Amino acid sequence: MDHRINPLSRRDLLLRGGVALVAIGASPTLLAACGGSGSSGSGSAAAISTASGDGTVGGSIDFLSWEGYDTPDAIKPWTEQNGVKINASYIATHDDIQAKILAANGSTGYDLTTYYQGYKPLYAKLGILDALDPEKIPNIQNLFPYFQGDVGNFWVDADGTRTGVPWTFGGIGITWDDVALPGGLNSWYDLLDPKFKGKIGAVDDPTGNIALVSRILKMEPDKINRDTDLPKVKDFMSKLLAQTKGVSASYGDMTNLVVSGEVVACWMGWAAMNSFAADAGNNNVKTAIPKEGGYGFCDAFAIPTTVDNPDTAYSWINNILDPKINAKVADFLVGATPVEKSVPLLGATTAALYPYENIDAFLEEIPFYNNPPIESDEFMTAKEWLEIWTDLKANAGS
């Protein structure tokens, strides 16, 4: 899953046409940003081999990820200094990553990719990520301690093998119009209050929504039992959808609905929406994590098994964890920085989005989850959830 807006489009469009155009720039990426695949996987270490080269940084690097994740402005000094040429392949859905790497069928090709933490079990099962040598990424020490370790084995396997390096993250809560709803909402259950019927919005993000409902109902997205848990999930989501006026294709579009007064609050909310609204001159859009908590998303850099320029890929990852560079990246993506020393270097707007002064407590409020499994006899699969989500949306209007 990916929650980013294409910042270039966003900023360019804001200059030209105001907030209504934000979603137009945002939609092409975000319509497709939430590929729902995942797997229970084997959970085994993904190590295939430790990529190594002759230590030379340069040449070309084949980059496979979302448009914008190559962070052109932030990475430019590094590419110029090392004479690196970027051959970027942009994905339309997260599933494109495993599809393209597997399609290479063991030959060389992509040098660098990113992944949403929920895909880690699937990628471990497929064995498409190389084991990383942390000594080649000394800037890992710049990360907050939480991101240097790994509670959920999203980046570091249980045996200590590292396959990913977190470089951007964020949290999901409730976003609201503080003029229409002073102080906002303190609980997800407040959204079910009859007085909000037809006044709240939703984002069409099935992977995110199953993480959200799991959090509210105290479940795990990858362990939702078909017989005992799924009926509760459906029931709660149906109630939320019955309250919902519109389901937006993207967070940019959802911002439009909040700003224009169509809805007073939305699930899911993202702190970046505050920034999108502020860019359009509205400083009354706020986001907070309700008392039940929200959920988090974190993207990590990884080196796929198709790498043929590993030293340059390592150098890229190390460069992104430089405090100055990662602050630029966070400003560019309107995201949170996992690099501790980047915090004082953030722009004022970006810095205000997340509570860095107590980051550990905040991360406890927004746990990271795995996606539902691809196949399971016991638990709801990713495909099942996507069909259920579509069904629930359609039935909410009938």
Partner 1 sequence: MVTVQRLERLPLGPLALALPAIIGIALLFVAPFITFVVYSVLTAGVLPFQADAPITLDAYGHFLNSGVNHNLARNSAWTGLFAAVTTVAISLPVAFWLRYAAGSHRNLVLLLITATIFASYLVRIYAWRSMLGQNGVLNSALISVGVIDAPLQFLLFNRFAVTIALIHIFLPYVVLLLYAALGPVSINLLEAAQDLGAGVTRRWTHVLLPLVAAPAATAFIFVFILSASDYVTPQFLGGTKGIMLGVRIQESFLKTGDWPAGAAGALTMLVAFLLLYLIVSFALRLLGLRSVRFVS
Q: How many residues bind partner 1 (CB under 8 A)?
A: 49
Question: Residue 185: helix, strand or coil by DSSP?
Answer: coil
298 binds partner 1 (CB under 8 A): no
66 is written with which tokens? 């979302």
Rounded to the nearest 5 percent, the helix, strand and coil shares of the chain are: 45, 20, 40
178 binds partner 1 (CB under 8 A): no
Those residues with Cβ within 8 angstroms of residue 97's Cβ, 6 or more apart along the chain or in another chain: 64, 65, 91, 113, 114, 115, 119
List of long-range contacts for 214-217, beta carbons under 8 Å, 24+ apart: 214/295, 214/369, 215/292, 215/293, 215/294, 215/295, 215/367, 215/369, 216/188, 216/189, 216/292
397 binds partner 1 (CB under 8 A): yes
Those residues with Cβ within 8 angstroms of residue 99's Cβ, 6 or more apart along the chain or in another chain: none
102 binds partner 1 (CB under 8 A): yes
Q: Which stretch binds partner 1 (CB under 8 A): 17-25, 284-292, 311-319, 323-331?
A: 17-25
Q: For residue 289, list its beta bridge partners.
A: none
192 binds partner 1 (CB under 8 A): no
Q: Which of 20, 104, 230, 278 binds partner 1 (CB under 8 A)?
A: 20
State phi, psi for 306 to the nearest 5 degrees.
-85, 5
For partner 1, give the closer residue by CB, 160 or 261.
Answer: 261
> What DSSP state is assigned to residue 358?
G
The CB-of-32 to partner 1 minimum distance in angstroms stands at 4
For partner 1, give the closer residue by CB, 169 or 385.
Answer: 385
How far is 284 from 180, CA to CA, in rounded Å? 9
Q: For residue 168, list its beta bridge partners.
A: 299
Q: Which stretch binds partner 1 (CB under 8 A): 218-226, 228-236, 279-287, 385-393?
A: 385-393
Single-letter amino acid code for the residue at 396:
A
Q: Which of 7, 36, 269, 290 binds partner 1 (CB under 8 A)?
A: 36
Q: Which of 73, 193, 364, 391 binds partner 1 (CB under 8 A)?
A: 391
Q: How far is CA 101 from the centre of its chain?
A: 20
Those residues with Cβ within 8 angstroms of residue 195's Cβ, 6 or more apart along the chain or in another chain: none
Q: Which of 8, 11, 14, 31 binds partner 1 (CB under 8 A)?
A: 31
Strands (E), the chain: 59-65, 84-90, 112-116, 165-177, 200-203, 244-248, 265-270, 285-288, 295-302
Q: Which of 109, 206, 252, 293 binds partner 1 (CB under 8 A)?
A: 206
105 binds partner 1 (CB under 8 A): no
Q: Which stretch binds partner 1 (CB under 8 A): 136-144, 157-165, 198-206, 311-319?
A: 198-206
The CB-of-2 to partner 1 minimum distance in angstroms stands at 12
The CB-of-94 to partner 1 minimum distance in angstroms stands at 9
Q: Which of 53, 152, 245, 367 binds partner 1 (CB under 8 A)?
A: 245
Q: Which of 93, 148, 161, 284 binds partner 1 (CB under 8 A)?
A: 93
Find the angle CA(223)-CA(154)-CA(74) to the nearest 5 degrees: 135
260 binds partner 1 (CB under 8 A): yes
The CB-of-344 to partner 1 minimum distance in angstroms stands at 39
Window 119 to 148, contacts with partner 1 (CB under 8 A): 122, 125-126
How far is 174 from 198, CA to CA, in rounded Å? 16
Q: Which of 2, 62, 204, 311 binds partner 1 (CB under 8 A)?
A: 204
Q: Which residues bind partner 1 (CB under 8 A)?
A: 20-21, 23-24, 27, 31-32, 34-37, 39, 92-93, 95, 98-99, 102, 122, 125-126, 198, 204, 206, 241, 244-247, 249, 253, 256, 260-262, 374-375, 382-383, 386-387, 390-391, 393-398
